[in-house]
Amino acid sequence: MHSKSSDPAVPLPATAEQGLKIAVVGGFGVGKTTMVHSISEIRPLHTEETMTRASSAVDDLHGVEGKTTTTVAFDFGRITLDETSVLYLFGAPGQERFWFLWDRLFTGALGAVVLVDARRLADSWYAIDRLEAQGTPFVVARNDFGGPPHTLDQIRAALDLPESIPLVDCDARSRDSVKQVLVTLVRHVHSLSTTPEAV
Amino acid sequence: MSRPVDRESPDRLYTITSGRSRGGDEVFDAVTLVVAECDPTPGMQSEHSRILRMCQRPMAVVEVSARLGLPVNVVRILLTDLLDAGRITARHPTAVNSAVSPFASPDVLEKVLVALQKL
């Protein structure tokens, strides 16, 4: 069993200079934080970002700057890759009302894992649409919750997922399983990066 | 897990940032690594002192935020103060993707792959 150091130990190497990110997205309760926890070298941390958006034209007519403020919460963990690189995994809310967070969170991300629950596939439609629209490379992982068996082909059809996008089974509680999902993602992005016409 | 950050009193956040609500967005990515370049000095704002103690080894902006219990946008403002005063340095992520390619470079990806497989 892998032992996790107690917080807030595990400082990064003094030579760390490159922060990388991968996002884990999916519906509420699908296991995003569990997945991050399984592989992170620190206990997942929780924080928030407040988004302030500019006023509408109507407000401008009155010479008053209108603002809407929304707070989004997310969990994250990290994996020190080597002496210079550290990978952060973000568990991102997949709900539609957080769409404006996405562009920001995914800026510079290597890619994303869409975590799905076979019993609630509709929860991931929005996430998949959004990632495709943004051109963020991603893979889909079915978290094993037991329940009625569906083949991955059935899931692929239900999600209307192109063959080019990897779809794998995983157990978000298992470090090895989560590691395999991340390896699948990075291999996928690598193949895209070396064969641009394959997009 | 941890206490929700939004239990913070808005007044306190206002005080910490001297009323500013914007700053640092362009400079500090969520995974920019922050490194203290000096020790805290007496009379320094307490949040600034805590950041300097926390960042004796590199720490990402989101991690500073979580450990301070302050929203990321508030932390960006505090970090901008420290950066402007030369008390921290920031190691920004090199762009892994660009307008030319939305994907990270094969070199970066190969490095990540090797490291993941060794876990």
State pLDDT tens for residues A132-141: 888 889 999 9
Using CB atoms, which residue from A79, A108, A194 is nearest to B96? A108
Q: Which domain holds residue A152?
A: 18-198
- pLDDT tens digits for range B9-61: 667 777 777 777 666 556 799 999 999 999 999 999 999 999 999 999 999 99
Q: How many CB atoms lie within 10 A of CB B102?
A: 18
What ipTM does the predicted assembly reach? 0.84
Q: Name the phi and psi angles at A124, rounded to 5.
A: -100, -5
pLDDT, average across residues A139-146: 90
Domain count for chain A = 1
Contact A85 B105 (CB under 8 A): no
- Residue of A18, A47, A178 best to disrupt the B interface, most CBs of B under 10 A: A47
Q: What is the structure's pLDDT at A144?
A: 85
- Chain A CA closest to residue B111: A81
Contact B5, B69 (CB under 8 A): yes
Question: Once rounded to an integer, what is the mean pLDDT over residues A138-149?
Answer: 86
CA distance B42 to chain A (A): 25
* Radius of gyration of chain A, Cα coordinates, nearest whole angstrom: 18
Q: Provide the mean pLDDT of chain A.
A: 84
Where residue A61 falls among pLDDT bands split at 50, 70, 90? Answer: very low
Q: Which residues of A touch B65 (CB under 8 A)?
A: 47-48
User: Would you say residue A72 has pLDDT above 90?
Assistant: no
Distance (Å) from the alpha carbon of A86 to chain B's nearest alpha carbon: 9
Residue A113 belongs to some domain of the structure: yes
Of A47, A90, A187, nearest to B71 by CB-CB distance is A47
Residue from the list B30, B93, B113 with its beta carbon closest to the beta carbon of A187: B113
| A136 alpha-carbon distance from chain centroid | 11
| pLDDT at B21 (0 to 100) | 65
Q: Would you call B111 and A82 a contact, using CB atoms and an 8 Å cutoff?
A: yes
pLDDT at position A59, please? 41
- Tens-digit pLDDT profile for residues A102-132: 677 777 899 999 999 988 888 888 889 888 8
What's the burial of A174, exposed, middle or buried (CB within 10 Å: 0-12/13-18/19+)? Answer: middle
pLDDT at A8: 54
- List, in order of start, the domains of chain B with CATH numbers: 5-118 (1.10.10.10)
* The predicted structure's pLDDT at residue A150: 87
Which CATH number is A67's domain given?
Answer: 3.40.50.300
pTM: 0.85
Q: Do A81 and B112 touch (CB under 8 A)?
A: yes
